[in-house]
Chains A and B, each alone.
Chain A
Amino acid sequence: MKSPAPILLKGAHVIDPAQGIDGIEDIALENGKIRPVEGLPSDVETIDVTDSYLTPGWIDIHVHVYGTLGFADPDSIGVCQGVTSYVEAGGPGIGTLDEFLALLGSGLKTALFAGPYIRPLGILGLNFIESDVRTLTNIPIADWLDFKKAHPGLLRYIKVGAFSGYGYGPTKIGKGLAEVLDLPLYAHIGEHQLQPGNQSAYEIYRVSEAGDIVTHIYHGNECGILDKEGRILPVVQEAKNRGVLFDVGFGGFNFSWRVAERAWAQGFFPDIISSDLQQFNVAGPAYSLANVMTCFMKLGMSLQDAVEKVTSAPAKALRMTDIAGSLKPGLPADVTVFRLDRGAYTLTDTANHTRPYDQRITPIMAFKSGERIDCDMQRCQDEKNWLIQIADDHEPEGVARLTTAQRSFLGALAGKLAPINWDEFSVSTLDYDKSLVLQAAFHQARQEQNIPLRDALIAVFDLFLDHRFTMQIGLFLLRLDRTFALDRMRKVASTQRMVA
């Protein structure tokens, strides 16, 4: 629990790049904020963190806790790994930000911000039609403006993918939307192995302005930051020179030792370190933000610079220096404590190439707004956390928790879905428009039943999942076998009637 009483963290090596602090210092917390050490009562609660490093709470600007790439236990890749703030990178769009907020707007210890995708439904992740420009459907500018105004501080950037098709239009639409909303453009230049010949990343380098952010910069596929001879492309260097920020975004495909080493040798360094943690890389090779930081120390980055790139640098980039990124008195008491372990470690990139290293950053404790959390780097590895599975051969335990209102809603939902036909999709045939139809049916049933959005979403997830993941409801319904889904909804609804 958050302690209103002061706490003294004593004896750690403090690194706070925003204040130029790099040495043994004591840090004090009180009422959820950093406070001066001077004036503490003599009997203040003291935690000895000697032989550890202590920094501002880490900020990971690129994670996936919502949507098809997310986790059942979002804090497992947040405060449990020393990350006190993170940004959901593209999971929701303007058409699903309400679902995102209903599910994750409260209840997490980690501070969650949103970097929504320009597509109204957000990232699809289910197959490789992300680049289909038709899935952008409409870009409702007024809705975006209204949402941003209604939720100050939630949106931190607008995400767009450098995908091919229809020229560079999608890139420019994303840049335009970011400008309208006065947010940085966050441009994904990865996954190019799926799109041979796609040159869109080059357009990203051209249209990005100072403060915009390019992510996945060390990917080893086509259309990266290097030319065929391994030199930094002039268009990339020009972008860097004019203030465009370059972010790691380790990901599942997008960190290559070969590219990173060549870039490093030419003095091309990242401005921000982020993990892109998701279901498909948490069990390796990404593992944690700490592991990605360690990779950069292997490349030659100092510990101090690695800390800067997960504290003051992302805070500045996301315009959040008033709430995170430093240990200045008065700021929220977000703190990460870690060890620098010595041993024989192997660091693996997303092409399964390895490098040996003799150090490893190991988070041991975090404070979020003054609340202490002891780190557990393995909690995220539980397969229940990252392996989303439909419980098609049994009813999940959550069914027993469904309220009467939720059961009635599921019956009504079955009624709304009954006239709609959908097939289990294959890799090449995701019916995007059908997911919108299913989403609309869900909302219609919810409104008619007058049930809160969160209760309605949870009713569906608990009906089909042993472990509650949070994803776009239209996409979730689309992945269910139609007959099976309707039968189970009706059965649960009828059980209520029998009980009643």
Chain B
Amino acid sequence: MSGDALTAAAHPADGTTWQVLEGIDPDNAKFPALARVGDDRILVLRIGDGFRGVERSCPHQQRSLHDAFLQGGNTMIRCRWHNYVFRLNDGKAVNCPGFKLKVFEVKREEKVLLARPVT
């Protein structure tokens, strides 16, 4: 990314804990990678030099987002099934009002990735 777009991302509420994403080697993992954050099953996307997490399924028809497209200069994700588009900074629906995608901040610290939900 287009790190720029995510710099402006909504900030999670204070106190939300960063969680280590076990089993994902940031240098060698295949992205998007599967992970869990708390009870959420997420997909970790590599976006430019950075990372972002999203829930695994599109909230529209619960189709997998593993083969979704990045859109709008890497600021949005588009489900390949019905072109529903969501902003990666806050998960808000772009062309399908009323829907919302759970998104997660993901950062690298040395050899591990850490994630926390964007609220």
Q: A residues near B, CB below 8 A?
A: 126-127, 193, 252-253, 279-284, 352, 383, 386-389, 424-430, 479
Contacts and interface: CB of A to CB of B under 8 A. Distances in A.
Chain A interface, >50% SS class: loop
Contact of B84 (A253, A280, A424, A429): A280
Contact of B83 (A279, A427, A479): A279
Nearest to B84: A280
Contacts, number: 50
Contact of B71 (A387, A388, A428): A387
Nearest to A469: B95
A352 B95 CA distance: 21
B98 A126 contact: yes
Contact of B95 (A193, A279, A284, A430): A279
Given A193-B61, A387-B72, A425 B97 contact: yes
A425 B96 CA distance: 11
Nearest to B96: A126
Interface string B75-97: 00010111111000000001111
B102 to A, nearest CB: 14
20 contacts: A252-B82, A252-B83, A280-B95, A283-B83, A284-B80, A284-B83, A383-B71, A386-B83, A386-B95, A387-B71, A387-B72, A387-B95, A388-B94, A389-B72, A389-B94, A425-B98, A426-B100, A427-B59, A428-B98, A429-B98
Contacts of B82: 252-253, 280-281
A252 B60 CA distance: 13
Contacts of B98: 126-127, 425-430
Contacts of A389: 72, 94-95
A281 B84 CA distance: 10
A300 B57 CA distance: 36
A193 B78 CA distance: 21
Contacts of A282: 83
B96 to A, nearest CB: 8
Contacts of A252: 82-83
A427 B71 CA distance: 23
A127 B100 CA distance: 12
A245 B98 CA distance: 36
A483 B95 CA distance: 20
B99 A387 contact: no
Contacts of A479: 97
B83 A280 contact: yes
A426 B59 CA distance: 12
Given A252-B82, A280-B84, A352-B81, A424 B71 contact: no
